[in-house]
Amino acid sequence: TAKTIIAPSVLSSDFSRLGDEVESVARAGADWIHLDVMDGHFVPNITFGPPVIKAIRDRTDKVFDCHLMIAPADPYLAAFADAGCDIITVHAEAGPHLDRSLQAIRNLGKKAGVSLNPSTPESVIEYVLDRLDLVLLMTVNPGFGGQAFISAVIDKVRRVKALVGQRPIDIEIDGGVTPETAPLVTAAGANVLVAGSAVFKGGAEAAYRANIGAIRQA
C-alpha cells in the first residue's frame, strides 16, 4: 500500500514567521502543507485568506491543501485557486449545493475535496463520488488546533473507505492526530493525516522533523 501522506497544519505554527515556518516544515519532511481557512461564521475562529496563501506560495513546491471552513464558499473559490491552492476542500455543511461547489473547483483546474464534521454522516458523499478527489473527515469539531481526537469517527473512516471503493480518492483525517491516534485511522483506511499541534510542538525545524518522524513511524 502507498505511503501515508503527512500534511502539517500551519494553524499551529508561528504566524509572525509564517513563510519561514512553511519552509522549515517542508524541509522537515512534510508531504503537503495544510491551510486552515476560517471565517468566524462557519466556525468560531478567524485565520487567513487568499492574500496570505499567495504570499507564502513561493516558499515551497509542496502541495497546498486548503481546508475551507467558510460559508458561503462558492464566491471565494476562484480567489483560493488564484492564490495557489492545489486542493480545495469545502465543508458539506457549509452550503446547500455541494455538487455545484465541487464542479466549480474542478472547473478551476484544482482538486476537489469535501470535509465532514464529526456528526455528519458519510451518506452525503454518495452522489458526488465521481466529482471528488479527497474526503476530509474531521476528528475534532473544526475551529481550533490542539483538541482531543473523537474516536467515534474511526467507524466513519471504514464506511467512507467502502463507499470510495477503487476510486482514486484520498481519505484525510484532521484533528487530534498524534503518534497514538494515527495508527487507528490508517488501519481504518485513511491515507492522509493532518497534524497541527503534534507537528509544531517544539517550535523549531529539528523538533518538526522528529515529530513528523514519530507520526510516520507509528
- Work out which of 196, 208, 211, 215 binds ligand DX5, going by CB under 6 A: 196
- Work out which of 33, 150, 176, 215 binds ligand DX5, going by CB under 6 A: 176
Q: Which of 31, 36, 39, 170 is catalytic?
A: 36
Q: Nearest approach, Cβ of 96 to ligand DX5 (angstroms)? A: 22
Tell which phi-psi region holds residue 98, choosing left (phi > 0), alpha (psi between -120 and 50) or beta: alpha
Tell which phi-psi region holds residue 126, choosing left (phi > 0), alpha (psi between -120 and 50) or beta: alpha
How many CB atoms lie under 10 A from the CB of residue 71?
A: 15
Among 130, 179, 190, residue whose Cα is nearest residue 155: 190
Question: Measured from the CB atom, is 142 or 164 closer to Zn ion?
Answer: 142
181 binds ligand DX5 (CB under 6 A): no
- Residue 61 DSSP class: -
- Work out which of 140, 150, 153, 157 binds ligand DX5, going by CB under 6 A: 140
Q: Are 30 and 62 within 8 A, CB to CB?
A: yes
Quote the cell numbers at residue 200.
509544531
Q: Nearest approach, Cβ of 147 to Zn ion (angstroms)? A: 11
Residues tagged active-site: 36, 174
Interacting residues with ligand DX5 (CB under 6 A): 9, 11-12, 34, 36, 67, 140, 142-143, 145-147, 174-177, 194-198
Binding residues: 9, 34, 36, 67, 143-146, 174-176, 196-197
